[in-house]
Structure 1
């Protein structure tokens, strides 16, 4: 089993938080947003991009988190945007217990779902079911921006 297969298995067994920890411990630099299920409920508000700090350690990949926490209806909701320089990816393909929608705002790249890669460009949208292996890479020649929304229901 290679490291990528190991990480995919770890993600499926333990969820997104431990998988990103495993990736970080492997020495691989990643940019990943762990969805928060604890803390105060999110409140209706406006979050301006210019007030956010970039997160992440993957070369050429920066995440900006607008909202992250539980809501009245969801155990967790995380949303924000990621910028990828040409050739960059935030992390290897991974799985997590949340459903995720990703919307390409600028540029072009490639999203993979369960090993099937699809070229995407501005305006395209991706849906990844809970625990489905998925990933993204900028395959274009300019910066790619995509928006993400991760949702986990209350059980």
Structure 2
């Protein structure tokens, strides 16, 4: 019995290692803002940092956004990935599941898959926030509840 368990554990470990080795993953590193890809839009700048798959994630995005007063990057939206947003400077309004809520420095929003969310700058100074979103490897992509299954 012990040999069977040991053999199963070794086989699982080799499978995991071979799978991990087959896909390039994000190495441990520090990225400066100067190294981040800057996307300038109408009333905002978005700095994209790490986007490669990691050992446990895919479809990842990490970044920092700076939104000028009276602007947003895009209207509230939905997607399959989980997402965290943290305001680090300024103030504005969160949109979460069609409700507007005041946003200020130190606040964090978590959006589950397919929940509508967003942020806009309603203050007088630039609003800066950090964003992290991803999909976990090994888990099925969540199905949008608005899409009805065909019989």
TM-score (norm 2): 0.73
Name the CA distance, whole Å, in 1 between partners of 2:38 and 2:121: 18
Q: Determine helix, strand or coil for the equivalent of 2:134.
A: strand
Note the residue ranges of structure 1 that are not aligned, 5 or more in a row: 1-38
Aligned partner of 2:34 among 46, 50, 62: 50
Alpha-carbon distance in 1 for matches of 2:132, 2:37: 18
Supply the distance in 2 between the matched residues of 1:129 and 1:147 (Cα, whole angstroms).
17
Q: Hey, what's the Cα distance between the residues in 1 that align with 2:25 and 2:110? A: 25
2:25 maps to 41
In 1, Cα distance between equivalents of 2:126 and 2:110: 22
Q: In 1, distance between residues paired with 2:24 and 2:43?
A: 32
CA RMSD for the aligned pairs?
1.3
Per the TM alignment, residue 64 of structure 1 is displaced from its structure 2 partner at its CA by 0.3
CA-CA distance at 1:76 after TM superposition: 2.9
Corresponding residue for residue 128 of structure 1: 111
Instruction: Please give the alpha-carbon distance, in whole angstroms, between the structure 1 residues aligned to 2:72 and 2:38.
Output: 15
Partner of 2:61: 78
Shift of residue 56, structure 1, vs aligned partner? 4.3
Q: 1: distance between equivalents of 2:113 and 2:40?
A: 23
Long gaps (5+) in structure 2: 1-22, 140-151
Aligned to 2:120: 137
Structure number with bigger Rg: 2
Contact 2:49–2:62 (CA under 8 A) maintained in structure 1: yes
Q: C-alpha distance in 1, partners of 2:69/2:39?
A: 18
Q: Distance in 2 between matches of 1:72 and 1:53?
A: 23
Count matched residues: 116
Greater Cα offset, 67-76 or 114-123: 67-76
Are 2:75 and 1:87 aligned? no
